[in-house]
Amino acid sequence: MLSIVMVFVVLAGGACFAYHKVTGEWPFGGDTIAKDADETSMLDALLGRNMKLNVAVFGVDADGTRTDVAFVVHYDSSQESLSLLSIPRDTRVDVCTDVEQLLGKRYGVMKFNAVHAIGGKEYGPQAAVLQLEDMLGIKIDHYVKVDFNALVEIVDAVGGVEVDVPRDMKWDMSDTGDIKIDLKKGLQTLDGNKALQLVRFRKGYANGDVGRIQVQQMFLKALATKVLSTESIVKNLGDYIKVMYKYVDTDVSLSDALKYANYITKIDMSKMTMETLPGVGQYISGVSYFIHDPAETTEVVDRLFYNVAPAGNTDSDSSNSKDLTIEVSNGGTVAGLAARFTELLKNEGYTVTEPTNYTGEKLSYTRILVKNEGVGQDLVSYFKDARVEVLPNAVGSADIRIVLGTNEQ
């Protein structure tokens, strides 16, 4: 859950501290790190240009072996953009040869979150990274393993994070040594403990682990927006460093952390893209799995990590949904809202069917549900906060289904 925060704040916080110890200055005191021309050119060479970075992030509980959250974060300095791909914990994997060679044993099929566990505290992150590389076909540069207590302390350090909790959340897991969850629906500022409850809750989502991930991503964006600012980094630097040493395990060296520190304030949060490994939930021999789609996964990885459009798509057809049928469903709180947006889109030249009421789980943001990659993006601008999601089974008889969020008025 703390992927962006840990990669670009906590680790960089350690780099800032080291830089201060060496130079007597803070790296965010002005537009450039160093004032002297020779120092500037030297640091420019050190920091490099057009950096691309893939980081695997694992959120773990107190024993440090069970991964409850997994992301791969891609950063492209030339675009000043972040992409985040969430990996459902129940993803069914056939343990790859590299993992079996690392651990010296054959394993077969298991859930992804078990791969870290079989590696134990010594090899868990390396095993999970190898499995991700095999599944996604990418090279992962670093890993960051974060104890969930880090989330509590970071959120408290920044004075809480305002989010719109999409539903009442109540779940007592204290009998298993886990946390007790009791949150009320609605817009509120969450402290660290309540933020942890939000991201750990996984009971009753209509679309299973994918629904949970969508809530996590919503919270992550709110947290990252608040944390990733020069003012926040300088003000809370001591807390970030403390969290880093206390709760973070990573293979990022100090020299690499110093290099990454320069990019923190250059991140454009409006260019942040968050998606989930494509696939569907399925029971196999009585066990609930998430079955990822290899072909769709390749398309998502190409787009997020390599900026490659799906085969057969051009800029014109990926930005035009006017030849497709659209259904607008009211998942908000205002009566007649779907009818209003239906009329609006018709006036804009879209083919829209009769409006409907959405009976599933309500979320704050609007979901533009599509059957295939490359459509729906042209609809985003009509809504306050909208995301395109490839969920073929949730679209229905139309080509695109728009489920209005509770923040639409």
As a whole number of Å, the end-to-end CA separation of the chain is 30
Domain range for residue 327? 315-403
* Integer-rounded Cα radius of gyration of the chain: 22
> Same domain, yes or no, for 330 and 291?
no
CB atoms within 10 A of CB 2: 28
> What CA–CA distance (Å, rounded) separates 351 from 324?
6
Closest CA to 113 of 240, 289, 360: 289
- Domain end residue (candidates: 306, 335, 362): 306
Low-confidence ranges of the chain (pLDDT < 50): 1-4, 8-12, 14-15, 17-23, 26-49, 313-318
Q: Are the C-beta atoms of 138 and 150 separated by less than 8 Å? A: no
Look at residue 253 in the predicted model and tell me its pLDDT: 74
**What are 373's two structure tokens?**
């990659």
> What CA–CA distance (Å, rounded) separates 339 from 327?
10
> Same domain, yes or no, for 131 and 108?
yes
- DSSP type of residue 324: S
Instruction: Indicate the residue type of 293.
Output: D
Look at residue 33 in the predicted model and tell me its pLDDT: 36
Residue 126 lies in a domain: yes
- DSSP type of residue 309: P
Look at residue 258 in the predicted model and tell me its pLDDT: 66
Count of domains in the chain?
2
> What CA–CA distance (Å, rounded) separates 71 from 136?
12
> Same domain, yes or no, for 199 and 262?
yes
> Same domain, yes or no, for 293 and 340?
no
Look at residue 119 in the predicted model and tell me its pLDDT: 93
CATH number at residue 36: 3.40.630.190
The number of angstroms, rounded, from the C-alpha of 47 to the middle of its chain's C-alpha atoms is 26
Q: Which residue has the tokens 């709180």?
A: 333
What pTM value is reported for the model?
Answer: 0.62
The pairing of beta strand 52-60 with beta strand 142-147: parallel
> What CA–CA distance (Å, rounded) separates 225 from 204?
28
Q: Are the C-beta atoms of 338 and 329 separated by less than 8 Å? A: yes
